[in-house]
Structures are given as C-alpha cells and as structure tokens.
A and B are shown apart, each in its own frame.
Chain A
Amino acid sequence: MENHIFELQYAIDTFYFLVMGALVMWMAAGFAMLEAGLVRSKNTTEILTKNVVLFAIACTAYLVVGYDIMYDGGVFLKDIALDGAANADALTATVLAESAKAGFGGDSVYSNASDFFFQVVFVATAMSIVSGAVAERMKLWAFVLFAIVMTAFIYPMEGNWTWGGGSVFGMYNLGDLGFSDFAGSGIVHMAGAAAALAGVLLLGARKGKYGPNGEVNAIPGANLPLATLGTFILWMGWFGFNGGSVLKLGDIANSNAVAMVFLNTNAAAAGGVIAALVIARVLFGKADLTMALNGALAGLVAITAGPDTPSPLAATLIGAVGGAIVVFSILTLDKMKIDDPVGAISVHGVVGIWGLLAVPLTNDGATFSGQIAGGLTIFVWVFGASFITWYVIKLIMGIRVSEEEEFEGTDLSECGMEAYPEFTGSRGSGL
C-alpha cells in the first residue's frame, strides 16, 4: 500500500512538473507577441522568426550538451529514458527506494525526463530576452549563431554554479555564500539581460533613435494589442515558471507552497502594473500602456527570486518596487543611448538585480552578501562571455544589417517576406 502511494506521488509530481513546464513553454509565445507588438511593422516577420528559431535552438543545444554541463545529465541525454535503469521494473524499484528514503514529505522524486523538460524551457526564456533588445537592426543569422553559444554553453555554465550546485571554476560555491534564487530572477532573467546588453553595446542604436543634440526620439511599436496579449501570456506562463520551481506538489506542505507561489507571483505582477502606470502618469502626464506592460513583467521578474517566503502584501510591494524601477531604468538607458526597443534590459536585468536583493528581506536562508556575490558572478560571466561571442560573430560576418536594409525593414532583408503584405496589390493578394 505504501508503495502504491509513493507511485501516485511520483505520478502527481511528474504530472505537475510537466504541466508547469508546458506553461513556461507558452511564455515563448508571450515574448514573440510582446516583441512583435513593440517593433515597427517592417520588422515583424524577422522578430517572429527569431523567436521561433531561438526556441528550437535552445531545446536542441540544451539536449545535446547544455543539460550535461548544468546538471551532469549526459551528452545527448543518453540515459534519460529510464533514468539509467535497465528496464521499467528496475526503474520502479529504484524510484520506490528513493521515495522511501526521502519520505512522503521529503525531497521530490519525479521523472528525469520531466526534469529535463522543465529545465529546457527556462533556457529558451533566457534566450528570448535577448531577441527583443537587439530587435530591428540585427542580422538574423548572427543572432542564430549567438543563440547556439548562449544556450549550449554560457547559460548552462552559470546554471551549474547556481542550481547545479557546482563551484565557480573550482574557486567558490555560491550556495555556501548564502545565494538564493528560487526561480531565476538572476540565473535566467538577469543572465538574459546581460547577454542582451553586451549585444546592444556592440550593435548600436536603431537609426534615428537618438538625435545629435541628445534628443531621444520615439519609435512607436506597431501593434499594442499584440504587446498586451504577449504580456498576459507571459503573466500566465509565469505561474509555471515560479510555481513549478517549488519542484514538488505531492504533499500538503508543498501543495500549499505552490499555491502561495501562484498567489505571490500574481500579486507582484499586479503591484508592478500599478506602480509603473502611476509613475508614468506623474512623469509624462499620460497613461503610457507600454510602461504598464513593462511594469507587469518587472513585477514578475522581481518576485521570481523569492516567491515562496513573502506575505501577499510584501509580494505586491516587491512587485511595485520593480514596476517603479523599470520606468526610471528605461528612461536612464535612453539617456545613455542604450537602445532597447522592448525594454528587456530594464525589465529583466535591472529589476532582476532588485529581485535578487529583495530575497533576504523575507528569507532568512539568503544573505545580502550572498545575493551580491551571486548576482555579480552571473553578470560578469554572462556579460563577458557574451561580449566576446558577439564580438567574434561581428568579426566573422557582422551583426548589423546595412543602413538601407534597416530603413526598408529586416523583414525584407532577412526573411524576404512581409508580415502584413495585403497592400502589395500582387496577384493572389486579394486586391
């Protein structure tokens, strides 16, 4: 009887993990819609292509070598099918032994394949962050090359030092220093933003974004309904991102923890929207929707490092601070002429740092020094490795389209296809 209960617990925890992973996978759709909404229509096809390709590359690169670097999971996942066991019965026996050792309320025991699935969609999320920041001017194939290096190597390395429990080049161990990043404010979001920042610095601003006398020119996004839909999709997917990171559902304490994480994740997003919208209204005199959307995501990024310990009110405030930071960060980056069409560096990077620093406020298991050490380690590694990678790609093939191609739109130069071609008047277009 006890074994049957353990089997059921294994089943429910695996099922929970897979559903949470599928929710995170759906965030790829959110990023695609958000970015498609905030670029100009002439760059829509290219940004959508980037989003679908980067997801596929992340899945493949992580399968080939990334999971092995991060969790020692085997190159090509060679032993994943039965978790190394000889047959299904042997797997059952191993699992039952593990479950008995861990106890009903102990560490989660779930399918290894579900673990890979849940981890791989996080890699894709980190890479998705990059595509928005470099939008409207980067060569598609330069981006694709970078995506391979990022998802096969750069992200898995820092993932190993953090969630993987490995030491940083054999020098120190972040876990021992009191570093805690529950679902990845730093490990996923700030890492993605650091890679994006390195790319943007080498890439330069979109033509016309900054005037010669320090003017910041607006380049309005083409489709705010899409941007709003994308934000809601991300908001929904985030329940999987944070909720799944509890890693276990199958007992009362953990079920309750998952429910609290859902609640706090939602509360923080709401706090982020309110703060960003109010501050945008005060600063600009108008309700800026794009800032409210960035505020929602900022709230989500802010709570991601520690959605399990704050009270609902504290979670709302952590999200609200994130929403406030993101508005000022976007304005500051523009003053520094760092052109980020969708605000990804502010949302995921600057607010990701805030998310890390907010953990010790409600979690005794984390320390400020540990958070700073972890944040710095991730940033220095990802920024440095990304900068070198971007630079090498720039030397080999260039990373930016020509000025004329940029003017005509990357849809034509990179994909040869417009996103909204109904007014071309060509045969078969319906006109």
Chain B
Amino acid sequence: MKLVMAIIKPFKLDDVREGLSEIGVQGITVTEVKGFGRQKGHTELYRGAEYVVDFLPKVKIEAVVADDLVEQVIEGIQKSAHSGKIGDGKIFVSSIDQAVRIRTGESGNEAL
C-alpha cells in the first residue's frame, strides 16, 4: 500500500476528485493548508499599508491506494491538477505498513 499525498491549487480540487474516482480510488482525505514553494507569497493592502502574505492557501489530498494503482493515481492527479502555471503543487508517495477498516476489522488492501 502507498500513501499518495498531493498539494494542489484549491480550484483544482473538484477535477482531481473526479479524476481519482474514475481510476477507482475509493476514498480521499482533504485538508486546507497553507505554505510556500517557488510561487512564494503575494502582497496585500490594508488601509494604505502593504503587507506580504508569505503562505498561500492550498489543498492537501491524501489517498492510500493499493500498490498496483499508484502509477495511475500519480498520473491522474498530475493531469487533473495541472494548470501549467507556477504553484500547481507537488505529489509525494510513501509506503504504508497497515490499514484497518474500523467497522469490519478488514485489513490490508481489503480495508482501502
């Protein structure tokens, strides 16, 4: 099992969700996050005083998937979250030791 974690632009969330459903991903967890990368921040203005917003809002998606699905999931996210402009985000993949469905006690790929 692999954990696919992707940081994407918030407005791409619906596209990514649909893309992953089509591939057969059964569930994802979404978090609103803030951070910076190469895009850096931007300046805002309040009562004549400029200030820099260092951390931009992004959406973090986490999906635990079976090993044979990982390449498709990565490709799917990259395609659906892609706008071609700076700040599109990143995808990280790591291994997962165990997964258990709380309701039934199923474990491993069965629990995903």
Interface residues of A (CB under 8 A from B): 216-221, 280, 283-286, 288, 290-291, 327, 330-331, 334, 343
Contacts and interface: CB of A to CB of B under 8 A. Distances in A.
* A-B pairs, 9 with minimum CB distance: A218-B46, A218-B49, A218-B51, A220-B46, A216-B49, A331-B48, A286-B45, A284-B45, A290-B47
A325 to B, nearest CB: 14
B22 interface: no
Interface residues of B, number: 8
Contacts of A285: 45
B68 interface: no
B49 A330 contact: no
B50 interface: yes
A217 B49 contact: yes
Given A285-B45, A288-B46, 4 more contacts: A216-B49, A220-B51, A284-B48, A334-B48
B46 A290 contact: yes
Nearest to B49: A218
B59 to A, nearest CB: 19
Tell me the interface secondary structure of chain B in the complex. strand
Contact of B50 (A218, A290, A291, A331): A218
A286 B46 CA distance: 10
Contacts of A220: 44, 46, 51
Contact of A330 (B44, B47, B51): B47
B47 A288 contact: yes
A261 B51 CA distance: 41
Contacts of A330: 47-48
Interface of B: 44-51
Select the residue from A218, A284, A331, A334 with max chain B CB neighbours within 10 A: A218
A288 B49 contact: no
Nearest to A280: B48
Nearest to B46: A218
Contacts of A334: 47-49
Contacts of B47: 218, 288, 290-291, 330, 334, 343
A163 B53 CA distance: 50
A288 B51 contact: no
20 contacts: A216-B48, A216-B49, A217-B49, A218-B44, A218-B45, A218-B49, A218-B51, A220-B46, A220-B51, A284-B48, A286-B45, A288-B45, A288-B46, A288-B48, A290-B47, A291-B47, A291-B48, A327-B48, A330-B48, A334-B48
A221 B47 CA distance: 10
Contacts of B45: 218, 284-286, 288
Contacts of B50: 218
Contacts of B46: 218-221, 288, 290
Nearest to A38: B47
Contacts of B51: 217-218, 220
A160 to B, nearest CB: 37
A280 B45 CA distance: 11
Contacts of B44: 218, 220
Most chain A CB within 10 A, of B44, B45, B46, B48, is at B48
A283 B49 CA distance: 11
A123 B45 CA distance: 35
A60 B34 CA distance: 49
Contacts of A280: 48
A2 B46 CA distance: 61
Nearest to B43: A218
Contacts of B48: 216, 280, 283-284, 288, 291, 327, 330-331, 334
Contacts of A221: 46
Nearest to B48: A331
A223 B53 CA distance: 18
A423 to B, nearest CB: 13
Contacts of A286: 45
Contacts of A283: 48
Nearest to A341: B47
A286 B51 CA distance: 14
A261 B48 CA distance: 33
Contacts of A216: 48-49
